[in-house]
Amino acid sequence: MGWPRTLAVLVLALKCVAIGPALVLTPAAAQTAAGDSVQLAGRMVRCKDVRVVTDRGLPSEGAQAPGLLILNPDMLNEQPAVVRLFVFHHECGHHNVGDSELEADCWAVGRGVHEGWLDAKGLGQVCQSFEDAPETSTHPSGRRRCRNLDRCFASAIALHRSKAPVSTIAAASPSKPTASAPPRLVSGPILVSTGTLR
């Protein structure tokens, strides 16, 4: 994170701590408090004890600071729903696993698989959102992140399948009706004439 961005995040953090839950900044600042949860892609999401704020001036879709998860709604809305969810969970991941971008990516993938919003197609959309970016002082290259995503996704899918309830697996397999099962109505009665049912 560059010095100007670090300073901006720290100033925002201090304002949030000083003002509290009723954070209302001037329209010029284009920052608002969202509270501890926010709706993204039709889902209400939250990050444990982290306050979610929006900042339209943020130079990326998301960032984090101690106790804060910062989102740029304008940039997020340019992304597919699965990428918006990934960005939120990636930034939340930093609050759970630390500064490592690759570990935060992996944490987000795990949440996505567990919560059911991330599949192989969505993983491809997330990877495309990295735009094959070169490595920087704060982030690995897009290619490296995509390779990591693939590895994390495979692990998360394997873990998710191993935790699937046995009854769900058994119910998915075809079964023959047992003699004790009550008969099922396959179609409703048909009126043949007044007072006669067939």
Give pLDDT tens digits for 130-177.
999 999 999 999 999 999 999 999 999 999 888 876 554 444 444 455
Q: Is residue 31 part of a domain?
A: yes
Give helix 81-97 / helix 120-129 axis angle, nearest 10°: 80
Q: Which residue has the higher pLDDT, 50 or 9?
A: 50
Q: Is residue 33 part of a domain?
A: yes
Determine whether 27 is exposed, middle or buried from the number of CB atoms within 10 Å of its CB (0-12, 13-18, 19+): exposed
Q: Which of the four pLDDT bands, split at 50, 70 and 90, describes residue 185?
A: low
Average pLDDT score over residue span 61-75: 96
Q: Is residue 127 part of a domain?
A: yes
Which backbone phi and psi does 150 adopt, to 5 degrees?
A: -60, -45
Q: Tell me 193's DSSP state.
A: E
pLDDT at 197: 54
- State the sign of the Cα–Cα–Cα–Cα dihedral 108, 95, 41, 63: negative
Q: Is residue 171 part of a domain?
A: no
pLDDT at 186: 65
pLDDT at 35: 75
In the chain, how many domains are there?
1
**Cα–Cα nearest to 47, from 57, 60, 37, 56:** 37
Cα 38 to Cα 42: distance, rounded to the nearest angstrom: 10
Q: Is the pLDDT of residue 24 over 60?
A: no
Determine how many CB atoms are found less than 10 A away from the CB of residue 7. Answer: 11
Please check whether residue 26 is in contact with residue 32, taking contact to mean a CB–CB distance below 8 angstroms. no
Q: Is residue 147 part of a domain?
A: yes
Give pLDDT tens digits for 93-122.
999 999 999 999 999 999 999 999 999 999
Distance from the Cα of residue 55 to its chain's centroid: 19
Q: Is residue 125 part of a domain?
A: yes
Give pLDDT tens digits for 31-56.
555 678 899 999 999 999 999 999 99
Range of the domain at 23: 3-164
Give the up-direction half-sphere exposure of residue 6: CA atoms within 13 A in the CB hemisphere: 4
Percent of the chain at pLDDT exceeding 90: 59
Q: Which residue has the higher pLDDT, 157 or 194?
A: 157
pLDDT at 163: 82
Q: Is residue 174 part of a domain?
A: no
Distance from the Cα of residue 88 to its chain's centroid: 6
**Beta-bridge partner residues of 69:** 52, 64
**Cα–Cα nearest to 49, from 35, 63, 60, 59:** 35
Q: Is residue 176 part of a domain?
A: no
pLDDT at 142: 96
Task: State the greatest distance between any 2 C-alpha atoms of the chain, in Å, as a whole number.
Answer: 85
